[in-house]
C-alpha cells in the first residue's frame, strides 16, 4: 500500500528533478523542483471543457490511463519485493497494462476528430507496436536468467546471487534504455517541452484535454516515467530493495530508491541534452535496433549459458 | 576474483558483438573509425584477461602489439586518410538498416550453431565465446559486402581481422607469436596498399564509390 502512496507522491517530483537538470544543462534558469505539483494544482482548480462531439470514451480515458499507470507502479518492486499485487501480475501483465493505456489514449485522441489528435494517435501506435516487443524481450532476458517472469522474484534472485556478470543483461540494458526513451516521449523520439505541432507525439494526444482531465494525464505521464525508472532499477540495479514490508527495512530502501532515481533522472536529462531529436521516420529504425539488441541478448544467453 | 575474470571474457565478447552491430548500422565514416578503435581496445582487454587467467605471458606481448597497431597506429592512419580524402562528414546511404540488422541476426544464429560443435572440442578457457567471434567475423564480412564506398569496406576488413584474432584467442588461447606478428604486419601492409589504392580510385573517378569499378571500358 505504501508503494502506491510513494509512487503517487514521488512521480511528479521525479519529473521536476529531470526538468530541473535539463534546464541546468542547457544553461537556462532551472524551474523549481515542485513545479509539476503547482501545475497539477492549478489544473485541478480549473473547470474542465470538452468538445461538443466528445463521447463518454473521451471523458473516461484520463481515469483509465491514470488507473493503469498507478497499477503498473504497484506491480514494479521499487521499495520492497513484498507486493500485494505480485502474485496476480507478472512482467507480461505489466506490458499489457501499458498497452491498454496506450490504446485508450489513442482512441480518445481520435474521438474528437481533430487532425492533430489523429496524427498523434497514429504516431503513438507506430512507436508503441515497435517498442512493446523490444520491452518484452528485454524483460525476458532477465526472466531467462532467473527462471521467472514475476518481477519481485527476479529482483530477489538478482540481488541475492553473488556478483556475476551477465553479458545478456548488457544487451537488454541498452535495449531497455532505448525503449524507455521512446515510451516516455523523451528527446531522441519526442520532445516533451515542444508545442510545435508537426513534431509532437505525446502533446498531440492530450491537446483536447483541459483542467482535471489534463492534470490526470500529466500525472499519469509522470507515473509512467516513475514506473519505467523503477523497472530499470529493479532489473539492472536490484540492490537495496527491501524483502518485507517492515518499517526498518523500508527505512533503508527508501533512501536507496531516492538515490538511484536521482542518479537515473540526471542521466536521463544528460541523454536528452546531448542527443538531437530524430526525424519521425528514423524512429522505427531506432526501435528496431532495440528489439534486435534484446534478441541478441537472448541468443548470447543461450550460447554462453550465463 | 578468478570467477569474475572468467565471466569478464564473456562480457568482452558480448561488447565485441555489440560493436560489430553498431558498425553495420553506422552511417558516418568518422564514427566508424571511433567504433573500430573501441573494438581494438575491447580486444586488448580480452587478450590481457585470457593471458592472465591462463598464465600465458606471450599473450601480454600480443595484447601490447594489438594495442599499438589497432588502437594507436591504424586509427591515426585512418584519420589522416579521412582528412586527406576529405570524407570526414560523409554520410553513406545504407541498405535499409532494419533489413541489414535482421540479416545480421540470422548470421549470428548461424554462427552460434556452427561454433557449438567446434567449441565442444576445444579445451580453452574462452571456448564458449567462439560463436561470438565467428558471428563478428561474418558481420564484418557483411559490412564489406553491403557498403558502396571504399573506406567503410577497408574498415570492415580491419574489423574482420580483429574478430579473427579474437577467435584465435578464444579457441586456442592465442596463435604462435610468429604467426601473430606476421598477420599484424600483413594487415598494416594491406592497409597501406589499400590507402594508395583509394587515392587512385579517386583520381580516376572523383569519388570513392566502388560501383564505378564495375564498368569495363577500353580506352
DSSP letter for each residue of chain B: -HHHHHHHHHHHHHHHHHHHHHHHH--BHHHHHHHHHHHHHHHHHHHHHHHHHHT-THHHHHHHHHIIIIIIIHHHHHHHHHHHHT-TT-B-PPS-HHHHHHHHHHHHHHHHHHHHHHHHH---TTGGGHHHHHHHHHHHHHHHHH--BHHHHHHHHHHHHHHHHHHHHHHHSS--HHHHHHHHHHHHHHHHHHHHHHHHHHHHHSS-BGGGGGS----
Q: Which residues contact A75 (CB under 8 A, 6 or more apart)?
A: A83, A85, A86, A89, A93, A94, A97, A151
User: Which residue in B2, B14, B129, B131 has the most chain A C-beta atoms within 10 A of its own C-beta, making it the best mutation to test that interface?
Assistant: B14
Backbone φ, ψ for residue B114 (5° rounding)? -65, -35
- pTM, 2 dp: 0.80
- Asked if pLDDT for residue A240 goes beyond 70, the answer is no
Residue A242 pLDDT grade (very low, low, confident, very high; cuts 50, 70, 90): low
| Interface contact flag, A303 B21, Cβ < 8 Å | no
Residue B219 is predicted with a pLDDT of: 56
Question: Contact, A80 vs A241, CB < 8 A?
Answer: yes
Between A11-15, B139-143, B161-165, the lowest mean confidence (pLDDT) is in: A11-15
Burial code (b: 16+ CB inside 10 Å, e: under 16) for A33-49 equals eeebeebbeebeeeeee
CA distance A27 to chain B (A): 28
Is the Cβ–Cβ distance between A6 and A78 less than 8 Å? yes
Are A16 and A33 within 8 A, CB to CB? yes
- Asked if residue B163 has pLDDT above 70, the reply is yes
> Is residue B15 predicted with pLDDT exceeding 60?
yes
Confidence at residue A194, expressed as pLDDT on a 0 to 100 scale: 67
Q: What is the pLDDT of residue A56?
A: 82
Picking from B5, B6, B10, B120 by the largest number of A CB atoms within 10 A of its own CB, the best residue to mutate is: B10
Assess A300–B contact: CB distance below 8 Å, yes or no. yes
Interface test with B, best of A279, A296, A306 (most B CBs within 10 A): A296
Cα separation, A23 vs A20, in Å, equals 5
Identify the CA nearest to A152 among candidates A225, A67, A246, A79.
A79
Question: How far lies A182's CA from each of A118, A192, B143, in Å?
Answer: 19, 11, 28
Contact A300 B14 (CB under 8 A): yes
Chain B residues within 8 A of A284 when measuring between CB atoms: 98
Least confident segment among A215-219, A284-288, B69-73, B116-120:
B116-120
From chain A, pick out residues whose CB is under 8 angstroms from the CB of B98. 284-285, 288
A164 touches chain B (CB under 8 A): yes
| Nearby residues of B11 by Cβ (< 8 Å), 6 or more positions away | A165, A167, A170
CB–CB of B14 and A167 under 8 A? yes
Mutating which of B98, B113, B139 best tests the A interface, going by the most A Cβ atoms within 10 A? B98
Check pLDDT > 80 for residue B100.
Answer: yes
Is B21's pLDDT higher than 80?
yes
Give the chain B residue whose CA is nearest to the CA of A293. Answer: B18
Q: pLDDT, tens digit, for every residue of A23-33? A: 888 888 777 77
Cβ-Cβ contacts under 8 Å for A191 (sequence gap 6 or more): A185, A199, A200, A277
Q: Closest residue of A to B22, CA-based?
A: A289
Nearest-neighbour CA in chain B from A8: distance (Å): 38
- Which residues of chain B lie closer than 8 angstroms to A171, CB-CB? 14, 18
Cβ A47 vs Cβ A212: under 8 Å: no
Percent of chain B with pLDDT over 90: 1
Joined together, the cell numbers standing for residue A18 give 529531470
Among B14, B128, B2, B8, which Cα is nearest to B53's? B2
Say what the pLDDT of residue A219 is: 84
Q: What's residue A243's pLDDT?
A: 66
A118, three cell numbers: 489523429
Predicted pLDDT of residue B38: 92
CA distances from A214 to A148, A211, A228, A277 (A): 37, 5, 21, 25
Residue with cell 498497452: A99
| A299 vs B10, B15, B112: nearest CB | B112
Residue A163 pLDDT: 66
- pLDDT band per the 50, 70, 90 thresholds, residue B174: low
Phi and psi at residue B146, to the nearest 5°: -85, -10
Calculate the average pLDDT of chain A: 79
Q: What is the DSSP letter of A28?
A: S
C-alpha cell at A7: 509512487
CB-CB under 8 Å, A174 with B101: no
Contact B8 A165 (CB under 8 A): yes
* Least confident interval from A17-21, A80-84, A201-205, A289-293: A80-84
B contacts of A304 (beta carbons < 8 Å): 10, 13, 128-129
Cβ pair B192, B74 in contact under 8 A: no
Amino acid at each position: 500500500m505504501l508503494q502506491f502512496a510513494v509512487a503517487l507522491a514521488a512521480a511528479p517530483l521525479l519529473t521536476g528533478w529531470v526538468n530541473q537538470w535539463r534546464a541546468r544543462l542547457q544553461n537556462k534558469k532551472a524551474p523549481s523542483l515542485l513545479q509539476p505539483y503547482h501545475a497539477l494544482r492549478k489544473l485541478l482548480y480549473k473547470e474542465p471543457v470538452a468538445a461538443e462531439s466528445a463521447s463518454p470514451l473521451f471523458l473516461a480515458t484520463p481515469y483509465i490511463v491514470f488507473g493503469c499507470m498507478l497499477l503498473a507502479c504497484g506491480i514494479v518492486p521499487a521499495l520492497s519485493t513484498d507486493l500485494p499485487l505480485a502474485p496476480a501480475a507478472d512482467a507480461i501483465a505489466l506490458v499489457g497494462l501499458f498497452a491498454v493505456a496506450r490504446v485508450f489514449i489513442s482512441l480518445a485522441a481520435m474521438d474528437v476528430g481533430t487532425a492533430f489528435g489523429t496524427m498523434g494517435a497514429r504516431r503513438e501506435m507506430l512507436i508503441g507496436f515497435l517498442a512493446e516487443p523490444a520491452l518484452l524481450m528485454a524483460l525476458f532476458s532477465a526472466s531467462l536468467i532467473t527462471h521467472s517472469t514475476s518481477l519481485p522474484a527476479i529482483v530477489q534472485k538478482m540481488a541475492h546471487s553473488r556478483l556475476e556478470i551477465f553479458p545478456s543483461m548488457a544487451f537488454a540494458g541498452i535495449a531497455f534504455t532505448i525503449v524507455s526513451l521512446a515510451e516516455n516521449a523523451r528527446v531522441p523520439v519526442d520532445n516533451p517541452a515542444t508545442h510545435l505541432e508537426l513534431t509532437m507525439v505525446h502533446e498531440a494526444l492530450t491537446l483536447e484535454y483541459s483542467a482535471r482531465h489534463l492534470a490526470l494525464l500529466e500525472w499519469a505521464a509522470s507515473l509512467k516515467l516513475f514506473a519505467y525508472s523503477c523497472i530499470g532499477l529493479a532489473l539492472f540495479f536490484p540492490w537495496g530493495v527491501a524483502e518485507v514490508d517492515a518499517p526498518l527495512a523500508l527505512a533503508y530502501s527508501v533512501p536507496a530508491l531516492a538515490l538511484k532515481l536521482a542518479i537515473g533522472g540526471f542521466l536521463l536529462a544528460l541523454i536528452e541534452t546531448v542527443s538531437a531529436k530524430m526525424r519521425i521516420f528514423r524512429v522505427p529504425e531506432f526501435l528496431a535496433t532495440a528489439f534486435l539488441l534484446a534478441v541478441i541478448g537472448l541468443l548470447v544467453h543461450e550460447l554462453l549459458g550465463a | 576474483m578468478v570467477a569474475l575474470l572468467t565471466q569478464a571474457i564473456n562480457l568482452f565478447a558480448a561488447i565485441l558483438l555489440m560493436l560489430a552491430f553498431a558498425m553495420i548500422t553506422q552511417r558516418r565514416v568518422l564514427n566508424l573509425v571511433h567504433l573500430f578503435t573501441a573494438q581494438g581496445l575491447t580486444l586488448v582487454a580480452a587478450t590481457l584477461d585470457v593471458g592472465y587467467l591462463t598464465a600465458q605471458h606471450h599473450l601480454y606481448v600480443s595484447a601490447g602489439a594489438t594495442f599499438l597497431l589497432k588502437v594507436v597506429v591504424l586509427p591515426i592512419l585512418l584519420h589522416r586518410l579521412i582528412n586527406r580524402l576529405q570524407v570526414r562528414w560523409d554520410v553513406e546511404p545504407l541498405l535499409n538498416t532494419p533489413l541489414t540488422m535482421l540479416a545480421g541476426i540470422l548470421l549470428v544464429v548461424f554462427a552460434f550453431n556452427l561454433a557449438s560443435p567446434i567449441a565442444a572440442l576445444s579445451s580453452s578457457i574462452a571456448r564458449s565465446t567462439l560463436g561470438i567471434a565467428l558471428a563478428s567475423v561474418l558481420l564484418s564480412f557483411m559490412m564489406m559486402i553491403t557498403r558502396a564506398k571504399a573506406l567503410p569496406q577497408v574498415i570492415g576488413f580491419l574489423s574482420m581481422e580483429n574478430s579473427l584474432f579474437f577467435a584465435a584467442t578464444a579457441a586456442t588461447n592465442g596463435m604462435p607469436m610468429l604467426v601473430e606478428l606476421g598477420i599484424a604486419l600483413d594487415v598494416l601492409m594491406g592497409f597501406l596498399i589499400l590507402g594508395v589504392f583509394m587515392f587512385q580510385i579517386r583520381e580516376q573517378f572523383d569519388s570513392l564509390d566502388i560501383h564505378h569499378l564495375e564498368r569495363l571500358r577500353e580506352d
